[in-house]
Amino acid sequence: MKTAVSVFAKPVGGVSGTTRVFPDILQTAAKMLKKAEGGILTDSFVTHTADRLVLIAVHDPDVLPDTLIAAVFSAAEEIAQKRHLFCGPDPVSVCRMTIPERENEPFLLFLAGSDVMPWGEVMVPDRGRDDACIVDGVLFLARAGGEFPSTAEFCERFARRGLNQQGVCPVSLCDSSNVRTTVIPVVGLGFSLFNGKLTGPVDLFDTPLFAAPRFRASDQHAE
Protein backbone atom coordinates (compact mmCIF):
# COMPACT_ATOMS: atom_id res chain seq x y z
CA MET A 1 0.00 0.00 0.00
CA LYS A 2 1.06 3.61 -0.54
CA THR A 3 1.15 5.93 2.44
CA ALA A 4 1.84 9.65 2.65
CA VAL A 5 3.87 11.20 5.46
CA SER A 6 3.55 14.98 5.67
CA VAL A 7 5.55 17.13 8.09
CA PHE A 8 4.85 20.80 8.74
CA ALA A 9 6.84 23.27 10.86
CA LYS A 10 5.78 26.85 11.58
CA PRO A 11 6.79 29.50 14.12
CA VAL A 12 3.74 29.98 16.34
CA GLY A 13 5.17 31.77 19.37
CA GLY A 14 8.00 30.94 21.71
CA VAL A 15 8.57 31.38 25.43
CA SER A 16 11.45 33.78 26.13
CA GLY A 17 11.83 34.82 22.51
CA THR A 18 12.32 31.92 20.10
CA THR A 19 13.61 29.59 22.80
CA ARG A 20 10.88 26.94 22.98
CA VAL A 21 7.21 26.29 22.18
CA PHE A 22 4.75 26.74 25.07
CA PRO A 23 3.52 23.31 26.35
CA ASP A 24 -0.18 24.21 26.06
CA ILE A 25 0.32 24.72 22.34
CA LEU A 26 1.76 21.22 21.96
CA GLN A 27 -1.12 19.69 23.91
CA THR A 28 -3.79 21.52 21.90
CA ALA A 29 -2.20 20.53 18.60
CA ALA A 30 -1.90 16.88 19.65
CA LYS A 31 -5.58 16.75 20.63
CA MET A 32 -6.73 18.28 17.35
CA LEU A 33 -4.71 15.84 15.26
CA LYS A 34 -5.77 12.88 17.40
CA LYS A 35 -9.44 13.69 16.73
CA ALA A 36 -8.76 13.42 12.99
CA GLU A 37 -7.29 9.92 13.24
CA GLY A 38 -9.56 7.36 11.66
CA GLY A 39 -10.79 10.03 9.25
CA ILE A 40 -8.42 12.36 7.42
CA LEU A 41 -5.39 10.89 9.21
CA THR A 42 -4.27 7.36 9.97
CA ASP A 43 -1.79 8.58 12.61
CA SER A 44 -0.07 11.73 13.85
CA PHE A 45 2.65 13.10 16.10
CA VAL A 46 3.38 16.57 17.48
CA THR A 47 6.78 17.93 18.42
CA HIS A 48 8.78 21.18 18.22
CA THR A 49 12.02 22.88 17.36
CA ALA A 50 12.80 26.33 18.82
CA ASP A 51 9.57 28.36 18.48
CA ARG A 52 8.26 26.17 15.66
CA LEU A 53 5.37 23.79 16.15
CA VAL A 54 6.05 20.60 14.16
CA LEU A 55 3.15 18.42 12.99
CA ILE A 56 3.56 14.94 11.53
CA ALA A 57 0.53 13.63 9.64
CA VAL A 58 0.21 10.14 8.17
CA HIS A 59 -2.56 9.89 5.62
CA ASP A 60 -3.86 8.49 2.34
CA PRO A 61 -2.02 10.13 -0.59
CA ASP A 62 -5.38 11.15 -2.09
CA VAL A 63 -6.57 12.90 1.09
CA LEU A 64 -4.44 15.93 1.92
CA PRO A 65 -4.65 17.24 5.51
CA ASP A 66 -3.66 20.82 4.68
CA THR A 67 -6.93 22.40 5.85
CA LEU A 68 -6.70 20.56 9.17
CA ILE A 69 -3.06 21.58 9.57
CA ALA A 70 -3.93 25.22 8.93
CA ALA A 71 -6.61 25.03 11.64
CA VAL A 72 -4.12 23.55 14.11
CA PHE A 73 -1.59 26.30 13.43
CA SER A 74 -4.33 28.91 13.81
CA ALA A 75 -5.36 27.49 17.20
CA ALA A 76 -1.71 27.44 18.28
CA GLU A 77 -1.19 31.06 17.26
CA GLU A 78 -4.31 32.08 19.17
CA ILE A 79 -2.89 30.57 22.37
CA ALA A 80 0.43 32.33 21.77
CA GLN A 81 -1.22 35.68 21.09
CA LYS A 82 -3.22 35.53 24.33
CA ARG A 83 0.06 35.17 26.21
CA HIS A 84 1.88 37.70 24.01
CA LEU A 85 4.52 35.15 23.03
CA PHE A 86 7.09 36.15 20.44
CA CYS A 87 6.52 34.72 16.96
CA GLY A 88 9.33 34.62 14.42
CA PRO A 89 8.75 35.67 10.78
CA ASP A 90 9.94 32.46 9.12
CA PRO A 91 7.62 30.72 6.63
CA VAL A 92 6.10 27.26 7.00
CA SER A 93 8.43 24.36 6.20
CA VAL A 94 6.74 21.37 4.53
CA CYS A 95 8.06 17.91 3.67
CA ARG A 96 5.70 15.41 2.07
CA MET A 97 6.67 11.93 0.97
CA THR A 98 4.40 9.32 -0.64
CA ILE A 99 5.86 5.85 -0.37
CA PRO A 100 4.93 2.24 -1.06
CA GLU A 101 5.37 0.76 2.41
CA ARG A 102 8.04 -1.90 2.71
CA GLU A 103 7.55 -4.73 5.18
CA ASN A 104 10.01 -2.84 7.37
CA GLU A 105 9.69 0.95 6.87
CA PRO A 106 11.93 3.09 9.10
CA PHE A 107 12.13 6.81 8.48
CA LEU A 108 13.96 9.68 10.15
CA LEU A 109 13.03 13.28 10.84
CA PHE A 110 15.73 15.82 11.64
CA LEU A 111 14.66 19.19 13.03
CA ALA A 112 16.97 22.20 13.05
CA GLY A 113 16.69 25.18 15.35
CA SER A 114 17.47 27.51 12.43
CA ASP A 115 16.61 27.62 8.73
CA VAL A 116 20.27 28.29 7.85
CA MET A 117 21.05 24.64 8.54
CA PRO A 118 23.46 23.25 5.86
CA TRP A 119 21.41 20.13 5.04
CA GLY A 120 23.46 19.46 1.91
CA GLU A 121 26.37 18.32 4.08
CA VAL A 122 24.14 15.88 5.98
CA MET A 123 22.70 14.01 3.02
CA VAL A 124 23.94 10.47 2.44
CA PRO A 125 24.18 9.18 -1.16
CA ASP A 126 20.71 7.90 -2.07
CA ARG A 127 21.93 4.84 -4.00
CA GLY A 128 19.92 5.68 -7.07
CA ARG A 129 16.54 6.22 -5.43
CA ASP A 130 14.57 9.43 -6.00
CA ASP A 131 12.31 8.91 -2.97
CA ALA A 132 15.07 8.72 -0.37
CA CYS A 133 14.74 12.09 1.34
CA ILE A 134 13.28 15.57 1.15
CA VAL A 135 14.40 18.87 2.70
CA ASP A 136 12.59 22.14 3.35
CA GLY A 137 13.65 24.89 5.75
CA VAL A 138 14.22 23.39 9.20
CA LEU A 139 13.04 19.89 8.16
CA PHE A 140 14.90 16.90 6.76
CA LEU A 141 12.76 13.77 6.19
CA ALA A 142 14.47 10.57 5.06
CA ARG A 143 13.74 6.88 4.58
CA ALA A 144 16.27 4.52 6.13
CA GLY A 145 17.34 0.88 6.02
CA GLY A 146 17.37 -1.71 3.27
CA GLU A 147 18.13 -0.04 -0.07
CA PHE A 148 18.46 3.31 1.72
CA PRO A 149 21.24 4.46 4.07
CA SER A 150 20.91 3.10 7.60
CA THR A 151 19.85 5.15 10.60
CA ALA A 152 23.43 5.03 11.87
CA GLU A 153 24.78 6.30 8.53
CA PHE A 154 22.52 9.35 8.71
CA CYS A 155 23.34 10.02 12.37
CA GLU A 156 27.06 9.64 11.73
CA ARG A 157 27.00 12.72 9.50
CA PHE A 158 26.19 14.86 12.53
CA ALA A 159 29.41 13.74 14.21
CA ARG A 160 31.58 15.10 11.40
CA ARG A 161 34.06 17.67 12.63
CA GLY A 162 33.51 20.03 9.71
CA LEU A 163 29.77 20.19 10.37
CA ASN A 164 30.26 20.70 14.11
CA GLN A 165 32.72 23.51 13.38
CA GLN A 166 29.84 25.29 11.63
CA GLY A 167 27.91 25.17 14.89
CA VAL A 168 25.68 22.20 14.04
CA CYS A 169 24.97 20.53 17.38
CA PRO A 170 23.11 17.16 17.62
CA VAL A 171 20.99 17.29 20.79
CA SER A 172 18.14 15.41 22.44
CA LEU A 173 14.64 16.84 22.16
CA CYS A 174 14.65 17.98 25.80
CA ASP A 175 17.91 19.89 25.21
CA SER A 176 16.82 21.60 21.99
CA SER A 177 16.14 25.11 23.32
CA ASN A 178 17.40 27.82 21.00
CA VAL A 179 19.81 29.64 23.35
CA ARG A 180 23.01 30.25 21.33
CA THR A 181 23.36 32.63 18.38
CA THR A 182 26.23 30.67 16.82
CA VAL A 183 25.02 27.13 17.52
CA ILE A 184 22.28 25.32 15.59
CA PRO A 185 20.62 22.63 17.72
CA VAL A 186 19.43 19.66 15.67
CA VAL A 187 17.10 16.93 16.92
CA GLY A 188 16.83 13.50 15.29
CA LEU A 189 13.66 11.42 15.63
CA GLY A 190 13.42 7.85 14.36
CA PHE A 191 10.13 6.17 13.48
CA SER A 192 8.86 2.92 12.02
CA LEU A 193 5.79 2.92 9.78
CA PHE A 194 3.42 0.01 9.13
CA ASN A 195 -0.05 0.07 7.63
CA GLY A 196 -0.27 3.82 8.11
CA LYS A 197 0.63 3.67 11.82
CA LEU A 198 3.71 5.08 13.54
CA THR A 199 5.90 3.38 16.11
CA GLY A 200 8.24 5.71 17.95
CA PRO A 201 9.90 8.06 18.00
CA VAL A 202 13.39 7.23 19.18
CA ASP A 203 15.30 10.34 20.27
CA LEU A 204 18.36 9.55 18.16
CA PHE A 205 20.85 12.00 19.68
CA ASP A 206 19.88 11.29 23.30
CA THR A 207 23.10 9.37 23.92
CA PRO A 208 26.59 10.15 25.25
CA LEU A 209 27.94 8.96 21.88
CA PHE A 210 27.26 12.50 20.64
CA ALA A 211 28.92 14.24 23.59
CA ALA A 212 32.08 15.02 21.60
CA PRO A 213 30.20 16.51 18.59
CA ARG A 214 28.15 18.62 21.00
CA PHE A 215 31.31 19.91 22.67
CA ARG A 216 32.92 20.73 19.32
CA ALA A 217 29.85 22.60 18.09
CA SER A 218 29.64 24.64 21.29
CA ASP A 219 33.36 25.19 21.87
CA GLN A 220 34.20 26.29 18.33
CA HIS A 221 32.21 29.47 18.80
CA ALA A 222 33.10 30.25 22.41
CA GLU A 223 34.95 33.51 22.92
Is residue 46 pLDDT above 90, yes or no? yes
Strands 168-170 and 184-194: parallel
More confident residue, 116 or 11: 11
Q: Looking at residue 116, what is its pLDDT?
A: 85
DSSP per-residue letters across 164-182: HTTTEEE--GGG-----SS
Which residue range(s) make up the domain with 42? 2-219
* pLDDT (average), residues 91-117: 94
Is residue 180 pLDDT above 80, yes or no? yes
Confidence grade of residue 124 (pLDDT, cut at 50, 70, 90): low
Q: Looking at residue 86, what is its pLDDT?
A: 86
Is residue 223 pLDDT above 60, yes or no? no
* pLDDT (average), residues 86-113: 92
pLDDT for 127-154, tens place per residue? 555 568 899 999 999 999 998 999 999 9
Count up the domains in the chain and report the number.
1
Threshold 0.85, pTM exceeds:
yes
Strands 105-112 and 41-49: unpaired
Give CA separation, 123 vs 91, 95, 110, 156, in Å.
23, 15, 11, 11
Q: Looking at residue 75, what is its pLDDT?
A: 98
Give CA separation, 133 vs 19, 40, 147, 202, in Å.
28, 24, 13, 19
* pLDDT (average), residues 116-120: 88
Q: What is the biggest distance separating any 2 CA atoms in the chain, rounded to whole angstroms?
A: 54
* pLDDT (average), residues 30-52: 97
* pLDDT (average), residues 76-97: 92
